[in-house]
């Protein structure tokens, strides 16, 4: 970046930054993370440990809990898959084409980040329940979109779209056209160029966006519970089961399920970071 920094790479590493404020700002940061994040995490794991392995596994992997994991992970997987395809399409259209309303489309993609999840939940239910704008015509074919696992997938599709679009968009925008032009000169058809030249280039970004959308979907609560139907074993997501256990004052059961969800999301986060780190290295190499 700046020339001064580049000329002294070896020296810079060892010496302390001359700028002031490290003790103060680092102190604030450590206190902030400790109180808000680390202490509560420790409390959760400690509570899990006090349950003992037998009780923990009984609560964490009861038949009802397993059904809820299957739904939360399964629906998140399907929704992330749908968004991987359509999110790529939206990103492609936003980057490559100029058309009226493009800016509006681009701004709308962020709606799921800005709209409170509870509002999204009742809105999606209003549209997709069998009295709604979309639900009603579809119900004529005997397909119900709400109060079943399909409803869960719809809610998670809503929540996940921006993750894919916002990850793929910058990579697509930064991609040079040189290779495409070369391939075209060699006589490749457009579809072949997309498959063989463009897709390999943006594939890592699609995977990252997919993983982010999936991770978000697994823990999602607010947008799902209104449209899901919430029937145990059928349409009950894992976060809802935690809330149900809490309402029954079954703190142990809630903690066991929460620990499983938390570990799953931490592993996912780690995998995403490793994957991104590898991609960053590959790109700069």
Partner 1 sequence: MSAKNAAVTESLLTKTILILVAVAYVALILVLPLASVFSEAFRHGIAAFKAAIVEPDALAAIQLTLTVAAISVPINMVCGLAAAWAVTKHDFRGKQLLISLIDVPFSISPVVAGLMYLLLFGAQGWFGEWLLAHDIRIAFAKPGIVLATLIVTLPFVARELIPLMQAQGREEEEAALTLGAPGWRIFLWVTLPNIRWGLLYGVLLTNARAMGEFGAVSVISGHIRGETNTMPLQVEVLYNEYNFAAAFAVASLLAGLALVTLVVKTLLEWRHGDQLAAAGH
Please say whether the dihedral angle defined by the alpha carbons of residues 186, 192, 195 and 198, taken in this order, is positive or negative: positive
**Residue 44 is a binding residue for partner 1 (CB under 8 A):** yes
Tell me the per-residue interface mask from 151 to 170 with partner 1, x by CB under 8 A, - otherwise: ---x--xx--x----xx--x
Closest CA to 90 of 74, 104, 73: 104
Q: Judged by CB, which is closer to partner 1: 149, or 253?
A: 253
Q: Which of the stretches 56-64, 141-149, 221-229 binds partner 1 when contact is defined by CB under 8 A?
A: 221-229
Alpha helices of the chain — where are they, by DSSP H? 3-7, 9-14, 22-33, 39-51, 53-60, 63-96, 102-108, 111-114, 117-128, 135-139, 149-174, 178-185, 190-193, 199-219, 222-228, 238-247, 251-284
Q: Applying CB under 8 A, which of residues 53, 54, 185, 282 lies at the interface with partner 1?
A: 185
Shortest distance, position 28 Cβ to partner 1, whole Å: 4
Please identify which residue in the block is written with the tokens 């779209």: 161
Identify the residue among 8, 32, 57, 196 touching partner 1 (CB under 8 A): 32
State yes or no: residue 6 binds partner 1 (CB under 8 A): no
Query: Among 22, 199, 274, 280, which residue sits at the site for partner 1 (rule: CB under 8 A)?
Result: 22
Give the Å distances, CA to CA, from 130 to 138, 145, 149, 220, 227: 8, 7, 15, 23, 11
Task: Give me the count of residues in the chain.
Answer: 285
Interaction between residue 119 and partner 1 (CB under 8 A):
yes
Member of 76, 132, 152, 206 binding partner 1 (CB under 8 A): 132
Minimal distance in Å, beta carbon 25 to partner 1? 4
Q: Which of residues 242-281 bind partner 1 (CB under 8 A)?
A: 242-243, 246, 251, 254-255, 258, 261-262, 265-266, 268-269, 273
Distance separating alpha carbons of residues 186 and 181, to the nearest angstrom: 9
Written as six digits, the tokens of 285 are 């190499």
Site for partner 1 in 190-209 (CB under 8 A): 190, 193
């Amino acid at each position: 970046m700046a020339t001064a920094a580049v000329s002294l790479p070896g020296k810079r590493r060892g010496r302390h930054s001359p700028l002031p404020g490290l003790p103060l700002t680092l102190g604030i940061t450590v206190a902030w993370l400790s109180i808000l994040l680390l202490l509560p995490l420790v409390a959760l794991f400690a509570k899990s440990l006090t349950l003992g392995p037998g009780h923990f596994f009984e609560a964490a992997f009861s038949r009802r809990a397993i059904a809820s994991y299957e739904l939360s992970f399964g629906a998140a997987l399907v929704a992330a898959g749908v968004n991987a395809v359509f999110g790529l399409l939206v990103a492609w259209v936003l980057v490559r084409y100029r058309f009226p309303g493009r800016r509006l489309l681009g701004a709308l993609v962020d709606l799921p980040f800005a709209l409170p999840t509870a509002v999204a939940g009742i809105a999606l239910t209003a549209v997709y329940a069998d009295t709604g704008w979309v639900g009603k015509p579809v119900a004529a074919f005997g397909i119900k979109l709400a109060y079943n696992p399909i409803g869960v997938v719809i809610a998670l599709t809503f929540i996940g779209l921006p993750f894919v679009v916002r990850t793929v968009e910058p990579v697509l925008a930064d991609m040079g056209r040189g290779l495409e032009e070369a391939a075209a000169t060699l006589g490749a058809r457009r579809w072949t160029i997309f498959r063989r030249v463009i897709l390999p280039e943006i594939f890592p970004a699609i995977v990252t966006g997919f993983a982010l959308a999936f991770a978000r979907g697994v823990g999602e609560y607010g947008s799902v519970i209104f449209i899901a139907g919430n029937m145990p074993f059928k349409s009950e997501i894992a976060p809802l089961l935690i809330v149900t256990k809490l309402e029954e004052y079954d703190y142990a059961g809630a903690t066991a399920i929460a620990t499983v969800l938390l570990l799953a999301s931490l592993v996912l986060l780690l995998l995403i970071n490793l994957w991104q780190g590898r991609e960053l290295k590959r790109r700069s190499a």
